[in-house]
Amino acid sequence: MKIISYNLNGIRAAMKKDLVGWLKKESPDVLCLQELKALPEQFDHQPFTDLGYELFFMPAEKKGYSGVAIFSKTPPEHVEYGCGEGVYDSEGRVIRADFADVSVMSVYMPSGTSGDIRQDFKYAWLDFFFGYANELKKERQNLIICGDYNIAHTEIDIHNPVSNKKSSGFLPEERAWLSKFIESGFVDTFRHFNQEPHNYSWWSYRFNSRAKNLGWRIDYNMTTINMIDKLSNARILADAIHSDHCPILLEIA
């Protein structure tokens, strides 16, 4: 199974940058999307269905904001829309597709960059999601949680750890949460294969950051630890430029 996760920062804008042509070339079995910034009826589905995908959406109630989706070439046995908590589901943050013994989730975790209110919202989400994911993996033991976690985990996951140590997304409390999450039984699949620095999945649009590779690695394909022997490849697809993020790939046997 080939899985790609991608924060599009707006699916309509990404489609104007030949997202569909890129998708045809990459041809993942499952595509997990975040930050669509569009309701399903606000863009043309046919270019994706023509490639053989079934489309499943969990949009935000607010137009032009957030929203997640899963596009799959194999029909899921079940799709779970949301996480059952209205405050998060209204923002379109979670969708899950179950395929036989494997479940794939697309998640868009909150950002705290706009100020203290949203940072507190992010902390509440992290507390909730830790329990939610760990309960879910008791039922769905082969669980893959793909998406934008909005946290750079370690110093090699960010271009300037010293100057960003007080920045949302690299705060000690956020990094500690991600360590705790992994220790609870999840694998950071990219780091399973690659321990090298300077590998990022998001770059600011300012200061020519992408060309200079001044980025953050905040997108992850996490799997439950019992899947570790099934992992065959994990990469960051930094050459794809449809967003301020880039896609991340996971292949499992």
- On whether the CB atoms of residues 250 and 221 are closer than 8 A, the answer is yes
**55 and 71 Cβ atoms separated by less than 8 Å:** yes
Which positions ≥6 away from 130 have C-beta within 8 Å?
177, 180, 181, 184
- Per the annotation, the verdict on 148 as an active-site residue is yes
Q: Where are the beta strands (DSSP E) in 65-130?
A: 68-72, 78-81, 94-99, 102-108
CA 15, CA 224: separation in Å to the nearest integer? 32
Question: Which residues are bridge partners to 223 per DSSP?
Answer: 144, 187
Q: How far apart are CA 132 and CA 4, in angstroms?
A: 23
Note the maximum CA span of the chain: 47
Q: Facing residues of 146 across strands? A: 106, 221
Rg (CA), the chain: 17
Residue 142 · residue 224 · CB < 8 Å? yes
Q: Give the active site residue among 18, 44, 50, 148.
A: 148
Q: Would you give the distance in Å from CA 15 to the centre of its chain?
A: 18
Q: How far is CA 4 from CA 8, 28, 41, 113, 197, in A?
A: 12, 6, 23, 26, 21
Catalytic residues: 148
